[in-house]
Structure 1
């Protein structure tokens, strides 16, 4: 059954917050509850103020008191309230009440929904700007299972009242998008910033689920957040679902490997295994408190002028199959990546990279936009005792292995390079696999496209089978050379 748009013909204005709430209020089939914790009842207030809300709002509540909240939704194991599990409990509880208290025979065409948020706004000292979870569980057909959209936001404004108003507008955008833009998830994501700007908030995680979103790849939705400038970093796990970076990285030791992974090769995995071994040997680094990140920059994804979403998903597919957490970022410069990690942890950090990336780090041209130049960048990059594990490169002419001992940097950078090397910040990966050093992703990709089957031996176990089975990176069985 398609959504009835009773009264919609009267709505002709631009999608302001008021026009969105009025369109929903005039649709007699949309009916649900609002449960908001931590920042007032700002979303429900927008619907009340517009008028005609009696046909939309079954109940609006705010269980501010922790004991009342626990009595209604249960107690979380970690005793926290601004979490995704808490939000999902709120959504589920309110939908169950709707189904239990309202007769389907009396309301055969009603499309039930529950909207919820659990939020903490800026603290009194203005040190922590606040964050929150918001979501909606909703029907698009009374006989269908429920769909769900959940997202995480971080406030940027420094005034609690402004943050509350921002949350209210975002909530309206989410509810409106769920009912009227569900057939175009990319536009739905973009609509979150209707009547808002990225100076007010950051949306850094989103997940879609339910029958109407069966074919939505949540990793692709993460990419939309980056493309739309809603956040600077997104993360997804081996199951393909999006993860909240702050949650995954909180108080963790972090080892990051940047690459194109187009496709992931034996060299990539050797670098991962050997750098991880070195990192775990560091003082106070325990494996149980360590997170390894395979990171791809947005600029790497848009190397041909625009982002190729199919190519992005191909890379993601392989890294996920290897059980890795993948992060896509807007941080072209390493010091910005380290700064980002430092928002969530004070523990040890390390970067694993090849020769070319290390040379770029010591190239002044990448820091011309900084008032303090390369010294400012290095202060941010190395101030937390960061270690760089360097994977060697084999010079094809001389046959020599290039590492930190014989690496050539610009003459002006020699003393700076020597300083960090002598202070144990630049560490060689010595037990590398010399048999795989001449494997490069771009070489493998060219072989796949040209139909040269020798590429299969250059990839980790099982990866070539996935590429062939799913026709990744332009693989075609008909082009394979005999």
Structure 2
């Protein structure tokens, strides 16, 4: 929630309607005209709305906006075409008569709603707008999932969110910290997930997509966000669809040579498992994952540290995920929403003790057994990388859980659901991020040998992680 009093959707819509400098078009597909409806109901809509359209018929929609190469209608590319077409048409028709004193805008959404069942209710929503008459346009787009059980409830929350988006775009772009709180005004917890938000345009230069999406995770509005190797925000659903996923969790402050070897050995192991479990060739998507909790310093998110860690990973060509999932079975369940293909999570052998700590699963009726049962199934495995020190080397074979858990552990080993990806002779001593941090703090140049060359150069150039 924002610090200022919350305006109701009706008040926001009326404020926009009586703002005679704003004039625009609405294009909504898939859930009625729930956003435009608010503006019609409060009165004075003729001062704001030049046009509304709902192109439900696929042939009609394709004729207006063009057909997508993948044949989909609920996707980012479709939203972009809708915004571009409606905005350009509006400006082309009205710029001569009212362009000198009007800030034009186009709002669009393309969504799929459903009642009950397992079908996902989701969509894309955006607004393209001028901040000054005759000025260049700006654009804000978001991907949402609607969590209400029934279609009518989903439509209502969609309408509120759309009004909030337009209102925030018009009146709250001078304060990025308050934009997201205004975006979710009048929405209850658990109604909407916003898992992608993007800002473009000359009047939105203060908005950093990376930090704004991190804020979605921090506030619990998104379960996870994903960065591409180009340091861009991706929609998780689109990125992992049709792929097998390999996830390595860590702090990566910074990533070490060991972390790279962990992932490389995991990929080699996964190629064989994918071939055995899939009937066709499936691409493997490696993801470096960090939890939201790892970015807090004294109760606040350390934004500089967050950007440094993400950038060192994406500079190595990696996909990076930030999630709110403390436990692996919740992370796995989230990923299963988007891909049915083989999946693996890879850990260091010393993490097995934490994995088999019963206190972590006390919120489950079935305790640890239920948690591990939800994590490991026919197409999901836990890969284990040797944890080697100067004194010992730990693998699956040298881990012994508490006596009453050993039969359970043996079951997962015997069924190859927990597997080693390498032997002790195939790896060097395990180098943790904290080991590099300690060397950096001491000014010991040995740290340079513990990280990939590209990371070493980046740390030096940006003076990251305490380097001086």
Same fold (TM over 0.5): yes
Deviations 1:17-69 (A, max 9, x none): 11111111121111111000110111111011111222211111111111111
Do 2:277 and 2:379's aligned partners in 1 also have CA atoms closer than 8 Å? no
Shift in Å, 1:116:
0.1
Shift in Å, 1:321:
0.4
Tell me the SS of whatever aligns to 1:109.
Answer: coil
The equivalent of 1:247 in structure 2 is: 238
Equivalences for 1:316-395 in 2 at 5 Å?
Answer: 316-395=310-389
Equivalences for 1:129-148 in 2 at 5 Å?
Answer: 129-148=120-139
Is 1:150–2:134 an aligned residue pair? no
Do 2:316 and 2:454's aligned partners in 1 also have CA atoms closer than 8 Å? no
Is 1:308–2:302 an aligned residue pair? yes
The equivalent of 1:439 in structure 2 is: 431
Match of 2:202 among 196, 211, 229: 211
Shift in Å, 1:322:
0.9
Deviations 1:425-447 (A, max 9, x none): 22212267867424220121233
CA distance in 2 between partners of 1:368 and 1:431 (Å): 33
Tell me the SS of whatever aligns to 1:102.
Answer: helix
The equivalent of 1:197 in structure 2 is: 188
Shift in Å, 1:185:
2.4
Instruction: Please tell me the root mean square deviation across aligned C-alpha atoms, in Å.
Output: 2.0
Tell me the SS of whatever aligns to 1:76.
Answer: coil
Q: Which runs of 5+ in 2 are unaligned?
A: none
CA distance in 2 between partners of 1:307 and 1:407 (Å): 35
Match of 2:262 among 256, 259, 271: 271
Shift in Å, 1:304:
4.8
CA distance in 1 between partners of 2:465 and 2:203 (Å): 28
Tell me the SS of whatever aligns to 1:474.
Answer: coil
CA distance in 2 between partners of 1:159 and 1:70 (Å): 28
Q: What TM-score, normalized to structure 2? A: 0.94
Tell me the SS of whatever aligns to 2:453.
Answer: coil
Shift in Å, 1:104:
4.2
CA distance in 2 between partners of 1:421 and 1:277 (Å): 19
Tell me the SS of whatever aligns to 1:60.
Answer: strand
Match of 1:466 among 436, 455, 458: 458
CA distance in 1 between partners of 2:136 and 2:99 (Å): 16
Do 1:222 and 1:235's aligned partners in 2 also have CA atoms closer than 8 Å? no
Q: 1:432 to 1:467 in 2, by over 3 A?
A: farther
Q: 1:250 to 1:375 in 2, by over 3 A?
A: same
Do 2:388 and 2:429's aligned partners in 1 also have CA atoms closer than 8 Å? yes
Q: Higher mean Cα deviation, 86-95 or 125-134?
A: 125-134
CA distance in 1 between partners of 2:200 and 2:305 (Å): 23
Tell me the SS of whatever aligns to 1:172.
Answer: helix
CA distance in 1 between partners of 2:133 and 2:461 (Å): 38
CA distance in 2 between partners of 1:462 and 1:157 (Å): 46
Tell me the SS of whatever aligns to 2:95.
Answer: coil
Is 1:95–2:87 an aligned residue pair? yes
Shift in Å, 1:103:
2.5
Shift in Å, 1:312:
0.9
Q: 1:106 to 1:172 in 2, by over 3 A?
A: closer
Q: Which runs of 5+ in 1 are unaligned?
A: 1-11, 477-482
Is 1:411–2:371 an aligned residue pair? no
CA distance in 2 between partners of 1:428 and 1:57 (Å): 62
Shift in Å, 1:353:
0.5
Q: 1:435 to 1:289 in 2, by over 3 A?
A: closer
Q: Higher mean Cα deviation, 87-96 or 246-255?
A: 246-255
The equivalent of 2:220 in structure 1 is: 229
Q: 1:435 to 1:120 in 2, by over 3 A?
A: closer
Match of 1:64 among 53, 56, 60: 56
Q: What TM-score, normalized to structure 1? A: 0.91
Equivalences for 1:28-39 in 2 at 5 Å?
Answer: 28-39=20-31
